[in-house]
Amino acid sequence: MTDTISLLLVDDQQLIRLGFRMVLEAEADMVVVGEAADGHAAIAQSAALRPDVVLMDIRMPGLDGIAATEAIVREHPETRVLVLTTFDLDEYAFGAIRAGASGFLLKDAQRHEMISAIRAIHRGDAALAPRVTRMLLEHVTTGRGVAPDAPALVVDDPTTELTDRERDVFLEIARGLTNAEIAQALYVSESTVKTHVGRVLAKLGARDRIHLVILAHRLGLIDDGTLPSDS
């Protein structure tokens, strides 16, 4: 039986929170445990409720979603943050990812896309679509969309600590593949891939898969030509 995913909804518009709640609570494996209308409330609710996933709006009065994301991830690293944004080129969204968010979702995404994104982040398989990955890498390379207080990414090569198989998995993650896709590409079981992913994250000191993508790009291990195409 699938574990229930507890969710915190953060958006300054009540109607948007209501709409998300209706969609999410229709899923048997999801429960909305709280709501917040600004960053300060989001931090407080995250501390009190310890949700598995926070759906975080970016542009809110008072404390914005970037600062709230950074605080939540720092204090509760087990909680995943999924950023909600109106535009896929919203530089605030990229700033939130650099602050610790595990991914972002367009507010006009289809219902199945939202559900899939939440489940992926919850199981630690938060791979970005190739188009989004390219945009993220472009922003990282040019220095745009970076949160002012975000820590600098490691540029030394820590991949020497990886075994050959772990390196293979690392490169497939960097291309944006999910665990299932990596298993198919490397002819191993999905459970084996999951084990390798955990070891890669630990050895490279990366918070999540997004930061592995960024690290691989910074090390020159991938480029646009290695990313799968959107279909």
Tens-place pLDDT, residues 138-178: 665 555 444 444 444 445 678 888 999 999 999 988 877 88
Cβ distance 173 to 127 under 8 Å? yes
Of 125, 69, 76, 80, which is closest to residue 102 (Cα–Cα)?
80
CATH 3.40.50.2300 region(s) of the chain?
A: 5-130
User: What is d(CA 95, CA 88) in angstroms, rounded to the nearest whole number?
Assistant: 13
Report how far apart, in Å, the C-alpha atoms of 219 and of each of 131, 154, 155, 223 are: 20, 9, 7, 10
DSSP state for residue 83 in the 8-state scheme: E
AA letter at 117: A
pLDDT attached to residue 133: 58
CATH 1.10.10.10 region(s) of the chain?
A: 158-226
pTM, two decimal places: 0.72
Encode pLDDT of 35-44 as tens digits: 999 999 999 9
Of 18, 98, 88, which is closest to residue 55 (Cα–Cα)?
18
Encode pLDDT of 84-115 as tens digits: 877 655 566 677 777 888 887 777 778 888 89
Q: Which CATH architecture group holds 158-226?
A: Orthogonal Bundle (1.10)
| Three-state DSSP class for residue 142 | helix
CATH of 5-130 among 3.40.50.2300, 3.40.50.450, 3.40.50.300, 1.10.10.10: 3.40.50.2300
Percent of the chain with pLDDT over 90: 38
Classify the C-alpha dihedral 54-142-209-47 as positive or negative.
Answer: negative
Of 127, 129, 118, which is closest to residue 20 (Cα–Cα)?
118
| Three-state DSSP class for residue 103 | strand
